[in-house]
A and B are shown apart, each in its own frame.
Chain A
Amino acid sequence: MNKILLIEDDHWLGDSYRQILTANGFDCQMVEGAELAMHKIDSSLPDLIIADVLLGDHTVVPLLHELQTYEDTRSVPVILCTSISAGAGELTKQLHSYGVVAVLDKATLTPETLLNTVREHIHAAAD
């Protein structure tokens, strides 16, 4: 079963994504902050990370930077989910070197889009 780490500080929103992913065959763990995410990653490397951009008192960027500094975490694909929808395509390009493979807009995201994006990038990483 593919392992997904979901980093979302809005507990209810994250829980909704987690339930959809779990119901569709993924092993999805959720944490609410970047520091907890690093602990989770240290104990079990996920196949894919889904992260919010604004996490409590930080953005996700320091975490992305941290992931790029380790050999084993560098290749884990990251999908960002954000409400800051302006320029999502540009953001993906800018953060591509940080392992970001897609940026999803929370305001238009559907369960199908979430699942299709996850499947596409988990399979791409496995190939």
Chain B
Amino acid sequence: MRGTGNSENNDVSFELPSLLAAAHELKTPLVLIRQLSLQLSDPSVPVTPELNHRLRLTTERGLRLVDGLTRAARLEDSLFDTESLEVKAICQLVAQEMRPLACELGQKLELKLPKRSLLAIGQYDLLTSLLVGLCDNALAHNGTGGQVTISTREHAGRIELAVRDSGPKLSHKQFKQLTGKLGKPQPVSGRPRSSGLGLWVADNFARSMAGRLTAQRHRDGGMTFIVSLPSSTQLSLL
């Protein structure tokens, strides 16, 4: 997943996108929902099951964005218990949840999981939301025919969960902007077309579980976002 020689890594320090940029990102699904509902009521265009399906999936995406933002804003005020999490099962669950959207967008979603169980310390809902958010982000940046791969491994005593996309290749400058090293994200786009809102939420979720989010760009195009969490030693006690 990392340090393969044909990619560039970076620790991530995602900054809170400006209110304007965040509003723009939240506006995108709303504009689409409005357009699809106008199409539904247009007598000249036949209503297909696909149209209803797209309407539902877009609404769910919008809700996920709002939900993530709300949770991230409340993290500092809340206390939660961490637990041992079987990350393979979480990856499978997220893949199951995101496959209908990937399929409707003409993309593939694949899992690359080890045979043995991997236990991380974290919080179930936060980690699930974090991975769903990264998948949402990946699907949004891939074109039709793109691929998203979710993988996990143990590395240096920690558990890594990675979401790779096959989106457009980023320049070094774009990559630095995305990862916040050259200052604030661009006004409307962290990665082009994005405010970086989803990544800011994911970064906050990871930090709240004593984890960190890193990013990696690939020479053959696409990005990988990696969540690293403390490993649980629960299995070694058996």
Contacts and interface: CB of A to CB of B under 8 A. Distances in A.
Contact of B42 (A9, A11, A20, A107): A20
Given A20-B39, A20-B45, A32-B143, A56 B193 contact: yes
Contacts of A84: 24, 188
A16 B24 contact: no
Interface in A77-111: 83-84, 106-107, 109-111
Contacts of B170: 57
B45 A13 contact: no
B72 interface: no
B168 A56 contact: yes
A106 B168 CA distance: 25
What DSSP secondary structure best describes chain A's contact surface?
A: loop
Contact of B106 (A9, A11, A56, A111): A11
Contact of A83 (B28, B39, B143, B144): B28
Interface size class of B (residues with CB under 8 A): 20 to 34
27 contacts: A10-B28, A10-B32, A11-B106, A12-B36, A12-B58, A13-B31, A13-B32, A13-B35, A17-B35, A19-B39, A19-B45, A20-B42, A20-B44, A20-B45, A23-B45, A32-B143, A33-B143, A54-B188, A54-B189, A54-B192, A54-B193, A57-B192, A57-B193, A58-B192, A83-B31, A109-B35, A111-B44
